[in-house]
Amino acid sequence: MPTGVIINAMSVLLGGLAGGFLGNKLSEKFKTEITMIFGACSMGMGIFAIAPMKYMPAVIFALVIGTGIGLAVHLGEYINKGAMLMQKPISKLFPNENLQLSHEEFINTLVTVIVLFCASGTGIYGSLDAGMTGDSTILISKSILDFFTAAIFACNLGYVVSVIAIPQFLIFYLLFLVAKFVFPLTTPDMIFDFKACGGFLMLATGFRMVKLKMFPIADMIPAMILIMPLSWIWVNWLLPLL
């Protein structure tokens, strides 16, 4: 039973609905400054995940090569298109939404939120851990932050944030199902490097939240796929040659 996956998706769904309802009742100053706090939290969680990293070269390789692949195949552009497809039916369901963001700001923020909820190292690792061990602690802890994060972002983006719960559930549930095949092939060091790679994505996400630097986090997602194989290759093939 994917309890943690369900709880996490529900936290985003309910948080998005709550934020969409409260959006016009909160001041712009409150929404702007609380979003900066969530950006700082994302950075802090990213740094925490990076700290136990075992093999920095493997993580760096994964980030550089993975981002290169994402940029080459225009992954970010596809996610942008998906974000717009998500927004269209929501606009029809909630035609009275009064969003204060420009088109560009809306897309940039929505992509940030999609990656934050669907591709964070904590969520991916938590789904794998829950599928292998049955322990949903990581996902439940993430759900607390996700509820409030979804609510705040929905204040600016509207009810579309709640719909992100659907792709998030599908991604995390798929990871939950394949976990029993993935975990036996991993080592503790590979897990640490995997979390560290996700930590870099969360750190970059934090920079986007506070609008300090718009990192291409959507294009960085392939790094999460490459990190475990590269960590294994580094330890077993390259490190003995040094």
Residue 15 confidence (pLDDT): 95
134 dihedral zone (left: phi>0; alpha: psi -120 to 50; beta): left
Angle at 138 (CA atoms; ends 132, 141), nearest 5 degrees: 155
Mean pLDDT of the region 62-69: 97
How many C-alpha atoms does 70 have within 13 Å on its Cβ side?
A: 22
| Structure confidence at residue 100 (pLDDT) | 67
Please give the model's pTM, rounded to 2 decimal places.
Answer: 0.84
203 vs 166: CA distance, rounded Å:
24
CB 112 within 8 A of CB 217: yes
Question: Which amino acid does the sequence have at 184?
Answer: P
Reply yes or no on whether the pLDDT at 227 is more than 80: yes
At 108 the pLDDT is 76
Per-residue pLDDT tens over the stretch 183-203 = 888 899 998 998 899 889 889
What's the confidence (pLDDT) of residue 79? 81
- 97 confidence band (pLDDT: 50, 70, 90): low
CB atoms within 10 A of CB 77: 12
Q: Using one digit for the tens of pLDDT, what is the confidence trace for 122-172?
A: 788 789 888 888 889 889 988 988 998 899 888 888 888 998 999 899 999
- Confidence (pLDDT) at 152: 85
Band of residue 72 on the pLDDT scale cut at 50, 70, 90 = very high
Residue 50 makes CB contacts below 8 A (sequence gap 6+) with: 196, 199, 200, 203
